Structure 1
């Protein structure tokens, strides 16, 4: 299975998502989007395939979101895309592309719907058990 992850190695959610992809036996194409951001056209296509609006993919925490006035709901998608193009850190992550679809994987477990079965037990970095020893999803309380 061909998988692409738009990844930020400094992000725990992104690291957990990458680890779950690998736990499914897949070595994905990793695009560190801060170093190599998607073009405006590609980002627009990814959002359309994921069923997301530009505003839904904006990240506030740790970004210039407020400094740029991006909370203003009157801003057009074009203006938001310009801001992401200028400051790729504004793009929330990770975005994963597989033959099964495109998804913003927040929380990281959302990636499981896009992958073949997990090949073994999986724990997130914080110790939360997500997959049991038989490769099955663990029910959350």
Structure 2
């Protein structure tokens, strides 16, 4: 099993480019299509910790689901934001590549080279 995992959306060009870049560098990551299989609260919390960012920084704020789910409410706790992100995985930025000790957002795809 691969040490690397990618939260992947095959319909997203940046996600496809990031996966291709990983493979060109000899990495065959575990692919998690997070829209079909959202991360657990524990997993998403760990990824945020590895990225050293707040939940808001991993959200796609232009998605309709962002406002529809109330994620634009500044009074939500981090725990509540994470819960809503899992319920509405389309708002999670993609792609995210991570191991047990490091993570990167593949925007641009070359960002993931820092963790290889």
Same fold by TM (over 0.5)? yes
Q: 2: CA distance between counterparts of 1:86 and 1:69?
A: 12
Q: 1: CA distance between counterparts of 2:67 and 2:108?
A: 23
Structure 1, 90-99 or 46-55: larger mean CA deviation: 90-99
1:20 matches 2:21: yes
Structure 1, unaligned runs of 5 or more: 116-141
Question: What secondary structure, in the 3-state scheme, does the structure 1 residue paired with 2:32 have?
Answer: strand
Instruction: Show the counterpart of 1:114.
Output: 115
Question: What secondary structure, in the 3-state scheme, does the structure 1 residue paired with 2:65 have?
Answer: coil
Instruction: Show the counterpart of 1:139.
Output: none
Structure 1, 53-62 or 40-49: larger mean CA deviation: 53-62
Tell me which of the two structures has the higher relative contact order, counting C-alpha pairs closer than 8 angstroms and 6 or more residues apart.
2
Measured on the aligned residues, the alpha-carbon RMSD in Å equals 1.7
**Structure 1 segments of 4+ aligned residues over 4 angstroms from their partners:** none
Cα deviation for residue 62 of structure 1 reads 3.3
Seen in structure 2, the aligned counterparts of structure 1 residues 99 and 63 have a Cα distance that, compared at 3 Å, is same
8 Å contact from structure 2 (residues 7, 97) kept in 1: yes
The number of residue pairs the alignment matches comes to 115
Q: 1: CA distance between counterparts of 2:52 and 2:101?
A: 14
Question: What secondary structure, in the 3-state scheme, does the structure 2 residue paired with 1:5 have?
Answer: strand
Q: 2: CA distance between counterparts of 1:97 and 1:79?
A: 23
Instruction: Show the counterpart of 1:5.
Output: 6
Structure 2, unaligned runs of 5 or more: none
1:58 matches 2:59: yes
Question: What secondary structure, in the 3-state scheme, does the structure 2 residue paired with 1:34 have?
Answer: coil
Instruction: Show the counterpart of 1:78.
Output: 79
TM-score by length of 2: 0.88
Cα deviation for residue 68 of structure 1 reads 2.7
- Which of the two has higher C-alpha Rg? 1
Cα deviation for residue 100 of structure 1 reads 6.4
Question: What secondary structure, in the 3-state scheme, does the structure 2 residue paired with 1:25 have?
Answer: coil
Higher helix share: 2
TM-score by length of 1: 0.74
